[in-house]
Amino acid sequence: MKQIKEDDNPNMGFQIAPMIDVVFVIMLFFMVMAGAVKVEHELKTALPGSTPKEASDIDISGLDEVTIVITEDGMVTMNDEEFDSPTDKKLPRLTGDLIKLQKDAENRGGKVLVTLQTEEQAKYERVIDVLNALGKAKLQNVTFTVGNDES
């Protein structure tokens, strides 16, 4: 009969050193990857208008509806009339007409509803140019749509 010695026991117990090595490698991986995360910058824009009213509070009897379309090449049209050049960031003609439209609506006690329709590939910068024009005219009721109504 063979005697079992403690030296012959193959079970050496729980080895903590390899576990610590694995934890350090994982921690190193996450530390390196945290520096590679791309930070998204927020585009700071102020939309025209103040607090939105509930749909039941809006009186539709004195409303002027305007549709502004922004094409992929940057052309801006309001009710099928072209305004300014695609490279003009300030849009002076559009801004002037929007201010006149807003003042006329205020004098009549009405409101102006603006639908801003952009083509799918229109540049965001051009949309912001139009929003700036709407802000200068102090228009508050703006709706966004993307794409054509024909489809």
Question: Per residue in 24-48, pLDDT tens?
Answer: 999 999 988 888 777 777 766 666 6
Residue 108 has pLDDT above 70, yes or no: yes
Q: What's this model's pTM, rounded to 2 decimal places?
A: 0.58
* β 76-78/63-70 pair status: antiparallel
Each residue's pLDDT tens digit, 61-81? 567 899 999 999 999 999 889
State residue 2's pLDDT score.
58
CA 103 – CA 84 distance, rounded (Å) = 21
Rounded Cα distance between 81 and 104, Å, is: 19
Single-letter residue type at 87: T
CATH T-level fold of 61-146? Nucleotidyltransferase; domain 5 (3.30.420)
Those residues whose C-beta lies under 8 Å from the C-beta of residue 129, and which sit 6 or more positions away, are 76, 89, 90, 91
